[in-house]
Structure 1
């Protein structure tokens, strides 16, 4: 592969990673936020009928935690990109690179996905 072709391949791969990250954040926010809204709609419907409602505080808290983790993951992903841009502009490696900010974003995103799974499982268990 020529250098230009390698550079082009690298750039396209980087762009696709950004696109995949954006879609992942959208999924996480929609899954957790949508689940919280659906849970509220269900509880409002059941409460309006005068039927005893199951205790859904824990699943709701888990979905909200997942939504907060998604938001903070987006913040740290932005900070990682900003730090990477500044590192590229300066041209030298700073004492503290962008890697730690990136890993914080990845862990928060993983927590967001895990919170959706845990919250969904908790909701299912409470529907006896």
Structure 2
């Protein structure tokens, strides 16, 4: 059975968060923020996501950067730390581990609690 490119693509929200993980505080400063948003949008355009020309996608990018600035750290840092903290017992029951991870991270990152993102987290 073959797979299509569409099934292998990472979700847009995850690619956005991975890009945000690489940003410095200077990139997120008020004077550089718009330039950073446009740069990331262009990079995501090159991967096949029409971010710079699709209103919903560019808003998703802007909101993610706003959340990153509000919380003070990237979501993917918290996510990677939470994954690293999982034990063998956690991994034995991936559904419960996923629920705990989403619940714990959802305190600071409420959008992670969305049903579409829960499924993506489970796949990761």
TM over 0.5: no
Ranked by relative contact order (alpha carbons within 8 Å, sequence separation 6 or more), the top structure is: 1
TM-score, normalising length from structure 2? 0.31
